[in-house]
C-alpha cells in the first residue's frame, strides 16, 4: 500500500466526467479546498468520491498547479474499478482501511491482541481481574497495604530458546512507590521471578525487579528514568542471557541492558504478564491494557 497524506475538512466539487483524472473545482459549502486544508503539490492523498448512488475510494497524486487528482481505485460500487463520473461529483480526503493497515505495518504490526483464554492465573490476589476488551487484555488490581504481585501466566510450556517475549501496553496513572506492570519470567523449580516493566519509584521508570516469591521483593537489577515511557517492552532469552529492549514501535526496539540468566533463575519455566499494586494505602487501583503480545 502506498503511504498517503491526510488533511482535515478537504472536500471539493468536480465537473469531470468519465473515469479519468479529476479536475477539482470549488470547495463544498462548509468545507475547504485541498490547498486550503494544507495539501501540497505532488502529495499522494487518500480520496473518497460520491456521485449520486455511486462511490469510489482510492489514492492519487495531487497537482496544485493544475488542480487535478489522479485515481488509483481501491474499492468502488463499480466492481472496484473507476466509476464513470456524471460531472456533479464530490471528492474528499479521508482515511481508508488500507491506510490503517499501513499505519500498523509502519509501527511493526499487525498487532497480536492477547486474550484471557491464552493465560492462566499463577498468582491472583484478592480483587485482581483480567478482562477482554476491544483494545486488548486489561489487568486490574485493587490498592492493598502490602506487596502483592498479580501474575498471569502464558499457557503452554516454556518456549525453546532463543526467543523473544514482547508486550505492548497502555496504562492508567499510578502514584504509589513500586506499583508497576509489564512482563515476567518465572523459575520452573522455585518461586523466583524476574519482572520487567514500568515501575513508579518517585517517578515513572523502566525497571527490572527480582522477587524470591510473589510477596517478597529481593532486589532491583537495573532501573532507568525515562522522559517518555515506551509502548513496547521485550526480553530475549538466548539460553544464556536475558536481553532487555524498549521502543515506541516494533521496528525501532533498542537494547538497554542484559543480565546473565542463571544469576537470577535456575531454569525458567514460564512467562507471562504481571502487575504489582504494592503498598498502596490510598486504595487506588492499578490497571494496564496489554494490546499486543508475541513470542518468537
- Looking up residue 120, the CATH number of its domain turns out to be 2.60.120.200
Strands (E), 54-128: 54-63, 68-69, 72-76, 85-86, 89-93, 119-123
- How many domains are contained in the chain? 2
155 and 282 in a single domain? The answer is yes
Domain end residue (candidates: 69, 88, 106): 106
Please tell me whether the peptide bond between 200 and the residue prior to it is cis, using omega within 30 degrees of 0. Answer: no
179 and 224 in a single domain? The answer is yes
Q: What percent of the chain has pLDDT over 70?
A: 86
Q: Is residue 173 part of a domain?
A: yes
287 and 235 in a single domain? The answer is yes
30 and 124 in a single domain? The answer is no
202 and 70 in a single domain? The answer is no
How far from 158 is each of 43, 182, 239, 295, CA to CA, in Å?
49, 18, 12, 10
How large is the greatest C-alpha to C-alpha distance in the chain, in angstroms? 75
261 and 152 in a single domain? The answer is yes
The pLDDT, as a whole number, for residue 257 is 96
CA angle 268, 160, 113 (to 5 degrees): 90
Q: What percent of the chain has pLDDT over 90?
A: 57
145 and 244 in a single domain? The answer is yes
Q: Is residue 4 part of a domain?
A: no
Domain housing 238: 116-295
**Is the whole model's pTM more than 0.75, yes or no?**
no
The pLDDT, as a whole number, for residue 1 is 53
202 and 67 in a single domain? The answer is no
Identify the H or E element spanning 100. helix 97-106
Residue 213: which pLDDT band, with cuts at 50, 70 and 90? confident
Question: Mean pLDDT over all residues of the chain?
Answer: 86
Q: Is residue 2 part of a domain?
A: no
30 and 145 in a single domain? The answer is no
287 and 158 in a single domain? The answer is yes
Domain end residue (candidates: 41, 73, 106): 106
Q: Is residue 1 part of a domain?
A: no
Amino acid at each position: 500500500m502506498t503511504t498517503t497524506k491526510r488533511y482535515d475538512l478537504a472536500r471539493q466539487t468536480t465537473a469531470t466526467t468519465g473515469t479519468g483524472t479529476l479536475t477539482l473545482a470549488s470547495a463544498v459549502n462548509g468545507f475547504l479546498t485541498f490547498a486550503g486544508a494544507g495539501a501540497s503539490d505532488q502529495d499522494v492523498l487518500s480520496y473518497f468520491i460520491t456521485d449520486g448512488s455511486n462511490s469510489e475510494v482510492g489514492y492519487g497524486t495531487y497537482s496544485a498547479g493544475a488542480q487535478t487528482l489522479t485515481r488509483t481505485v481501491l474499492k468502488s460500487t463499480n466492481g472496484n474499478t473507476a466509476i464513470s463520473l456524471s460531472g456533479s461529483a464530490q471528492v474528499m480526503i479521508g482515511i481508508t482501511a488500507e491506510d490503517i493497515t499501513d499505519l500498523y505495518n509502519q509501527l511493526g504490526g499487525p498487532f497480536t491482541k492477547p486474550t484471557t483464554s491464552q493465560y492462566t492465573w499463577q498468582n491472583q490476589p484478592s480483587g485482581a481481574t483480567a478482562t477482554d476488551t476491544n483494545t486488548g487484555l486489561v489487568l486490574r488490581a485493587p490498592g492493598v497495604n502490602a506487596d502483592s504481585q498479580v501474575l498471569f501466566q502464558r499457557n503452554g510450556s516454556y518456549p525453546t530458546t532463543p526467543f523473544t517475549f514482547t508486550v505492548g501496553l497502555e496504562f492508567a496513572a499510578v502514584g504509589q512507590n513500586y506499583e508497576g506492570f509489564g512482563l515476567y519470567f518465572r523459575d520452573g523449580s522455585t518461586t523466583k521471578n524476574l519482572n520487567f516493566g514500568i515501575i513508579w519509584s518517585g517517578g515513572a521508570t523502566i525497571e527490572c525487579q527480582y522477587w524470591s516469591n510473589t510477596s517478597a521483593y529481593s532486589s532491583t537489577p537495573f532501573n532507568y528514568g525515562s522522559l517518555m515511557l515506551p509502548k513496547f517492552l521485550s526480553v530475549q532469552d538466548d539460553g544464556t542471557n536475558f536481553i532487555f529492549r524498549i521502543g515506541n514501535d516494533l521496528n525501532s526496539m533498542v537494547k538497554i541492558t542484559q543480565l546473565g540468566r542463571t544469576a537470577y533463575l535456575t531454569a525458567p519455566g514460564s512467562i507471562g504478564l504481571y502487575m504489582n499494586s504494592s503498598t498502596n494505602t490510598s486504595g487506588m487501583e492499578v490497571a494496564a491494557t496489554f494490546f499486543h503480545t508475541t513470542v518468537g
